[in-house]
Amino acid sequence: MGNNMKMICFVAGLLFIVCAVDYAQLVNEQLFPTMPYPGISAQILPAHNDFYISGLMSTSNPFFDGEQSSSIPFILLHSQTSEESVVLIPDTGHSTFYAFSNTHDEFTMNSIVDNNDSFFIAWSKMTHFDSDVPPTYYGAPSASVGEIVDQKVEIVLSLANGLNPSIAVDESHTLDVVWQKVAPLSDEPGSTFETYRSTILYIARNQAGQYSDTVVLGNGFFPQIQHDQNGLHCVYFEADSSSQTISHLVYQKINAGVIEPPVTLYEIHLPQNFSQGTLLNKIPLGQFAWKMDSLGGVHAGWTSLTDPTRIFVLHYYAPQGIQIDSTNSYYTAVSNFRFMPDGEVRIFASTEDTYVSPAILRYEISKQGLSLQEEQDIPLSSYSTTLGQVIIDTSGNQHILVNDFSGPVKVYLIKNVGTADTSVNYLATSYVLSATSYLDKDNRVWLTGTRSLTPVILNFLLNDVGKAADFEFPLAAGNVWYYGVAATENPDPLTSFIGYDSATIAKDTVLNNGVVYVRLFSKRFGSEFLRKDGFRVFQYSLTDSTEYLRFDFSAVKGDTIAVYPTLTYSNAMVLENTEMLPLFGLSRRTETYQGVLPGSRVFQADVADSIGITKEGDGLSYEKSLVGAKINGVTYGIILGMNTQKQISPLKFSLSQNYPNPFNPTTNFRFTVGNSEPVTLKIFDILGREVATVIDQRLAPGEHSVMWDAGKFTSGVYFYQLKAGGFVQSKKMILLK
């Protein structure tokens, strides 16, 4: 850590409180409207008074020895006050996959809304011809720019042989467009080509619909433009042709129609050339982002494709020149950046040693003329994370969303990053988030994602995150809990099962101290006498006719809630852990208490909000786990007759189809682990060669989900295989770029 460090927060130095709000009360979900095609990938596009959603819908139809699919770009015109409407882009992509070859159309799309809420969209499409034997061939590049008028797309510009258009609109409503114009590098026969040159072109259209002359900016790939008060700014990746393996990040300014000479900012040594799959549709700097500051400086951030542990930040001012800061995360880095008006770049990096040690969120600041400042390390419980967009609230505080893929998928919000009030707050289970979000005037966050592979639109109130919810311990007469009981001295989960037990709340009872208790009766473990007072639950011991505090739901993790007379196991009751765990279809706040009450055998108990005791054991010989319940008239899980013997089958291993499929570039795998086993999930290409390992670790029984990013792989058919003990299952998937 550097000498400029302002605050480093480790587990012992700063308490990170996990929010105790049930996700059903915090995160609101709505489904997408009915679309022509069921497969949807989408991103939020902020506008001035609302937001839009842009994306791609797709469908697939398998046949005897392959699969056909179609895809259409779309815009969802969202409104909080009126019905949503879907605008289809007048273009359709088609793909055909066979065992050893495929043909597919690849889309790129970007859009912008000006300060009059005029909506412009630009897209391009190029056909790829792949096989199991290189090279890949390309053909039919085309690009268009359109404006949405009366919920239809009106084409304002057709770009022959165009690719990757980028658009911007200034205060005078001038539409600026840059794009690549593609031409075969050599006279290759037919309409397809393997290598090509790409020229960066620029054109402008004023508010009256008049066009400027088309201007050549240079040769290169992936142009991007931005407007500010100083004019139009463009960056692109300079290269004479797609066969090159060295490129340069170039900046060019266009002011009042005057195009200034290009400035080379950074030299890039590519792992492959631009004709190969890894870089054909992907900017050659990972997670690349850039922005102009109020003084005319250029600032950019990225991770290296050749060394994914390195994060770079670049600053350029015309008089001072170029400054590049870099940070090494030691392990895989997932980064996001916030560009400040004064040229300061704030770095948010999730650094992880996958499946070895938990990740941290590292917060750093880079600024021209200063050394890199390491501000804060925020420990996370996850081994595999993806960062969402940085959210800036109406008070200027910064927060960031995190997807946790180390087990069942979870979502966290890290609030107030860079302050002493930083907290890691649980939001939801089962949602995989997209990369963008929108914050409205009420501090409500809107975002898109998937839940169990179903596309959804989500929202939550930022101000509600971090507020503790009331914890309900249901002690109403007639409530019944059903448990499976296992012998803990037997480590084999298949032979340690003893049987089932029920615990029922009988009528109230007045005991010797004159206090009313409820009687919780179990056929296997006898009776307990409990009463609730606010957030605390007391238990009466018949052994010494004394009442003891058993649970305190207002306590925080690590608190000693009570001290008892000296006992064999323990003389205190401690709240060991608080976390959100999935139970009966919802994620619930669950607290773990350790300690032995006088006259009791119980050493550890897990208690879930609105459910009660979910797990309990003496630490030596037995453990019981909840399988079902009847609480306040509501039935949860499996309800058993007490004559039931070992009728419930243990969890079975299973592997579901990935979603989305086809996908680009990320997809999700869901699978069930039957018992604690070393589990591997591996990816193979069409020739059966292993190309990636997604999981290689021991997992707990239950349902799991993990995301795989295939950004560095070429389009085609792949297979994924789950192995655990004697279980092996494989399925096919299609990467469609």
526: region left, alpha or beta (phi > 0 left; psi from -120 to 50 alpha): left
Coil/strand/helix, residue 310:
strand
Per the listing, tokens 């509600």 go with 464
Name which of 32, 34, 104, 30 is nearest 66 in CA terms: 104
Whole-angstrom distance, CA of residue 367 vs CA of residue 346? 9
Quick one: average pLDDT of 19-38? 67
Segment 642-656 shows an average pLDDT of 54
pLDDT of residue 315: 97
**Most confident of the ranges 202-211, 532-541, 613-622:** 202-211
Place of tokens 């993806």: 386
Q: What pTM was computed for the model? A: 0.66
Per-residue pLDDT, averaged over 14-25, amounts to 32
**CB 696 within 8 Å of CB 733:** no
Instruction: Note the pLDDT of residue 634.
Output: 85
3-state secondary structure of 541: strand
Please give the CATH number for the structural domain made up of 654-735.
Answer: 2.60.40.3080
Rg (CA), the chain: 29
One-letter amino acid of 193: F
Point out the least confidently predicted range of 125-129, 275-279, 392-396: 275-279
* Calpha distance 513→519 (Å, rounded): 15
DSSP reduced 3-state for 382: coil
The pLDDT of residue 408 is above 90? no
- Which has the minimum average pLDDT: 69-83, 400-414, 419-433, 718-732? 69-83
Tell me if 595 sits within 8 A of 605, measured CB to CB. Answer: no
Mean pLDDT of the 176-201 span: 85
pLDDT at 697: 80
- State the DSSP code for 650: P
pLDDT of residue 178: 97
How many CB atoms lie under 10 A from the CB of residue 470?
11
Q: What percent of the chain has pLDDT over 70?
A: 85
What pLDDT shows up at residue 412? 87
Q: Do domains 1-31+293-468 and 654-735 have the same CATH topology?
A: no
pLDDT band at 125 (very low <50, low <70, confident <90, very high): very high
The answer to whether the beta carbons of residues 588 and 580 sit under 8 Å apart is yes
The string of DSSP letters for 17-50 reads PPP---HHHH-EEEEPPP-SSSEEEEEEEE-SSS
Say what the pLDDT of residue 679 is. 86
In sign, the C-alpha dihedral spanning 76, 338, 23, 483 is: positive
Give the whole-angstrom CA distance, residue 712 versus residue 665: 9
Backbone angle region of 189, left / alpha / beta, with phi > 0 → left and psi within -120 to 50 → alpha: beta
- C-alpha distances out from residue 133 to 4, 129, 167, 683, 715, Å: 53, 11, 37, 19, 12
Residue 445 has a pLDDT of 93
Predicted confidence band of residue 553 (pLDDT cuts 50, 70, 90): confident
Model confidence at 695: pLDDT above 60: yes
Calculate mean pLDDT across residues 489-509. 72
Residue 59 has pLDDT above 70, yes or no: yes
Q: Which band of pLDDT confidence, cut at 50, 70 and 90, is reported for residue 142?
A: very high
pLDDT of residue 223: 96
Q: Take residue 183 and report the two structure tokens written for it.
A: 């031409």
Q: Which residues are 152's β-sheet partners?
A: 149
The mean predicted confidence, pLDDT, of the chain is 82
DSSP string, 407-434: SS-EEEEEESTTSTT-EEEEEEESEEEE
Spatial CA neighbour of 365 closest among 2, 731, 734: 2
Structure tokens at 91: 């273009």
Three-state SS annotation for 695-727? EEEEECCEEEEEEEECCCCCCEEEEEEEEECCE
The pLDDT score that the predictor gives to residue 726 is 79
- Higher pLDDT residue, 326 or 11? 326
Q: Which one has a higher pLDDT value, 206 or 727?
A: 206
Query: At residue 193, what are phi and psi to the nearest 5 degrees?
Result: -150, 155
HEC string of 249-309 equals EEEEEEECCEECCCEEEEEEECCCCCCCHHHHCCCCCEEEEEEECCCCCEEEEEECCCCCC
What is the DSSP code string of 92-127?
-EEEEEESSEEEEEEEEEEEEE-TT--EEEEEEEEE
Distances (CA, A) of 708 to 105, 149, 660, 670: 22, 38, 11, 11
pLDDT at position 222, please?
94
Predicted pLDDT of residue 416? 93
pLDDT-derived band of residue 676, with 50, 70 and 90 as boundaries?
Answer: low
Look at residue 18 and tell me whether its pLDDT is greater than 50. Answer: no
Using the predicted structure, report yes or no on whether residue 17 has a pLDDT greater than 90. no
Residue type at 62? P
pLDDT of residue 338: 95
What is d(CA 136, CA 737) in angstroms, rounded to the nearest whole number? 12
In terms of Cβ atoms closer than 10 Å to its own Cβ (0-12, 13-18, 19+), residue 71 is buried
* pLDDT at residue 206 in the model: 92
pLDDT at 579: 79
The CATH code belonging to domain 1-31+293-468 is: 2.120.10.10
Question: Higher-confidence residue: 69 or 698?
Answer: 69
Report for 75-89, 404-418, 455-469, 661-675: range of highest mean pLDDT: 404-418
Task: State residue 20's pLDDT score.
Answer: 29
Residues 6+ apart with CB under 8 A from 375: 5, 6, 7, 363, 364, 365, 418
How confident is the model at residue 143, as a pLDDT?
A: 96
Q: How far apart are the first and last CA of the chain?
A: 40
The Cα-based distances of 370 to 2, 322, 325, 365, 373 in angstroms read 12, 13, 10, 10, 8
Model confidence over 254-298: pLDDT tens digits?
Answer: 987 789 999 999 999 877 666 654 444 567 788 899 999 999 999
- Give tens-digit pLDDT for 104-118: 888 989 888 887 778
* SS3 at position 463: helix
Q: How far is CA 303 from the centre of its chain?
A: 18
Residue 681 pLDDT exceeds 80 = yes
Nearest partner of 609 among 12, 16, 10, 20, judged by Cα: 20
Q: What is the pLDDT of residue 377?
A: 86
> What's the longest Cα–Cα distance across the chain?
100
pLDDT digit string (tens) for 325-335? 998 765 656 78
pLDDT of 96 > 60? The answer is yes
> What is the pLDDT, as a whole number, of residue 38?
85
Average pLDDT over residues 530-551: 86
Query: Token pair 């607290």 is at which residue?
Result: 591
Mean pLDDT of 647-670: 74
Mean pLDDT of 162-167: 95
Domain boundaries, the chain: 1-31+293-468, 39-260+279-284, 480-631, 654-735
The CA–CA distances, whole Å, from 500 to 497, 643, 645 equal: 9, 9, 7
Q: What's the pLDDT at 606?
A: 93
* Helix runs in 210-264, H state only: none
Model pLDDT, residue 369:
92
The secondary structure of 555-573, three-state, reads: CCCCCEEEECCCCCCCCEE
Nearest to 236 by CA among 307, 312, 303, 163: 163
Task: Return the closest-CA partner of residue 215 out of 193, 223, 280.
Answer: 223
Measured in degrees and rounded to the nearest 5, phi and psi for residue 622 equal -140, 160
pLDDT over 90 (residue 128): no
Tell me which of 731 and 357 has the higher pLDDT: 731
Share of the chain above pLDDT 90, in %: 31
Output 226 or 186, whichever has higher pLDDT: 226
**Residue 242 reports pLDDT greater than 70:** yes
- Using CA atoms, how far residue 688 sits from 70, 277, 682, 684, 691, in Å, is 27, 19, 11, 5, 9
**pLDDT value, residue 8:** 28
pLDDT at 703 over 90: no
CA distance 459 to 438: 9
